[in-house]
């Protein structure tokens, strides 16, 4: 096959891919248009526009646990994580050494976030919330990954529960 034939095949493939891509875009734009048209018909039928109210977050119910029934720091951190609906909870020294975590392989996380905390970061772009807990004259850095941002009262309660875990196990 000569070079012109190769170029024609490549251009044909590119053209086909572009057509399929545009067809996909048109398909989704049509679905959006239908959804909006249905919403406009609903508004016209009711005679007034109703603006959707933001859904209120369900009240957080804290799952209580019995600290005496817990056998290790990791189990205690897991129970705290369940209580506050955390994806993970990690405790580290201020110089980045891992104390305990609900995540496996959290050594790197402990080092990275301890450094970020010393630089003044309290929340990062991934949603991790950083806090400190005074323990035996040192600062322990807590790294919580909540499913949604914790209100101040729950953050205070989380700190207290983490402090209790440290006092019991460390």
Whether the Cβ atoms of residue 89 and residue 145 lie closer than 8 Å to each other: yes
Question: What residues contact residue 129 under an 8 Å CB cut-off, 6+ apart?
Answer: 122, 123, 143, 144, 145, 146, 149, 150, 155
pTM beyond 0.75: the answer is no
Show contacts of 64-71: CB within 8 Å, 24+ apart: 67/164, 67/165, 67/168
pLDDT score, position 58:
47
Q: How does residue 36 score in pLDDT terms, banded at 50, 70 and 90?
A: confident
59-107, pLDDT tens digit by residue? 455 567 676 678 888 999 999 999 999 999 999 999 999 999 998 889 9
């Amino acid at each position: 096959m000569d070079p012109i034939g190769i170029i024609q095949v490549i251009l044909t493939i590119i053209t086909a891919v572009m057509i399929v891509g545009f067809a996909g875009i048109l398909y989704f734009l049509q679905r959006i248009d239908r959804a909006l048209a249905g919403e406009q018909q609903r508004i016209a039928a009711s005679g007034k526009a109703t603006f959707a109210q933001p859904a209120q977050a369900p009240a957080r119910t804290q799952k209580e646990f019995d600290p005496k029934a817990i056998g290790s720091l990791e189990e205690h951190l897991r129970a705290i994580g369940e209580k506050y609906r955390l994806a993970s909870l990690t405790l580290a020294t201020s110089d980045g050494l891992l104390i305990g975590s609900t995540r496996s392989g959290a050594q790197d996380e402990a080092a990275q976030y301890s450094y970020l905390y010393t630089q003044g970061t309290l929340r990062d772009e991934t949603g991790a919330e950083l806090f400190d807990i005074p323990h035996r004259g040192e600062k322990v850095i807590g790294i919580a990954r909540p499913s949604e941002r914790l209100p101040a009262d729950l953050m205070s309660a989380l700190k207290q529960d983490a402090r209790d875990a440290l006092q019991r196990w460390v």
